[in-house]
Structure 1
């Protein structure tokens, strides 16, 4: 990123969304932004809940990804609690942790991290995951850190909601276009070959199956064939 200022980081994140619909790229940008902008944050990860499983979809580095794996193994930690609770889940000093004692013991033994926090991520009102932040020094997560993390999580929620809506709209547009093409092909076959609508559709479907190509592709070929007669 060209600058570490909040405005520059948020602008870069917004640009990532506007320039494409790659969820993985956006997930990574969110983690990178968190690691830069939140005071005291050394590592960040994003974990989503999918079909009762918790999956790390992005991490600022291997340490963050490893701690996520420890959370899943021990079934406790900031991410798992944050997904279910609206309030931020913060343990500024893992050495004194009473919230996640098993996780804290392993994190201290296996990594440089000494503080952890989790922030719930909501998309369209659904609890889909959490942004996880880790500090290499105890006591680094202050009120300022939490406020900044809440801001980034809210921005991430808006960003991912917009991306979901964009993809849903694109899928709908493609579906409507495909339906129109199939409908037009059926209409042409009915008119030029004097067959019923059911018969025309059956022919399209059989051709699709026999040639092992999509029904919409067959429809486009039918339309192109009939159009060529009038060129």
Structure 2
């Protein structure tokens, strides 16, 4: 049975998406590269000057995860400072936030005029990224021209959004795993250091932890770093304060 023109178009489309996925992969083929995603997205939307990704995580300040230049970072920092703007709206509430006259847009009465005056950016397009759990994000496009973005641009941005979401998701999971292993290692080091202090000073675990904590404060060093040294050397570094156990002699 002969294939129809629509079958050929779908096959071509599938090949193009496969080629795009390959182009957005990291050099080691371990996943999508967020930086490549924003670069390719910028090239695919002629009227944009830059692209970036805004990330919102519970318990953390908003941050710009990746960009194609300094301009997005400048614009985003202003949004984070005044708590309003298209990047935040797209991340939190709207699927798409688009504007072509920031200095007059009533949705962002503080951010809009300041952004136009301080950065020259008049047009922005932000598309929400679908992330797991409570993480939120948006891919954002920036232009100094007025009314720079069209409905076609929204469509093209929406094609890149799933790639950006996957790249962000993978990066976050890798960061979370690294932080977990670091915290676990620190916990083990602190536990070992407490055991060493208990054995050397014949004190309880609570007293040993208090000794370690006070030494950390006195030496102005992080607790985990001090614990690592105790684990390595088997002794607590000398502090400016005398150990109460050795203070029985008169001055």
TM over 0.5: yes
Higher relative contact order (CA 8 A, sep 6+): 1
2:207 maps to 1:199: yes
Range with greater deviation from structure 2 (120-129 or 184-193): 120-129
Structure 1, gaps ≥5 residues long:
20-24
**Structure 1 CA distance, aligned partners of 2:74 and 2:200?**
64
Q: What CA deviation, in whole Å up to 9, does each residue of 1:21-54 have, x standing for no partner?
A: xxxx94x544322111346545434445689x97
**Structure 1 CA distance, aligned partners of 2:37 and 2:159?**
12
Q: Count residues in correspondence.
A: 207
Q: Normalization by structure 2: what TM-score?
A: 0.56
Deviation at 1:88, TM superposition (A): 3.4
**Structure 2 CA distance, aligned partners of 1:169 and 1:57?**
17
**Structure 1 CA distance, aligned partners of 2:212 and 2:42?**
54
Q: Normalization by structure 1: what TM-score?
A: 0.60
Question: Which position in structure 1 is the counterpart of 2:245?
Answer: none
Alignment of 1:68-217 (within 5 A): 79=87, 81-89=89-97, 117-126=125-134, 128-133=136-141, 141=150, 143=152, 145-217=153-225
RMSD over aligned Cα atoms: 4.7
Which of structures 1 and 2 has the bigger CA Rg?
2
**Structure 2 CA distance, aligned partners of 1:169 and 1:225?**
29
More helix by share: 1
Deviation at 1:222, TM superposition (A): 2.4
Structure 2, gaps ≥5 residues long:
1-18, 236-251
Deviation at 1:119, TM superposition (A): 0.8
1:31 to 18, 35, 38: 38
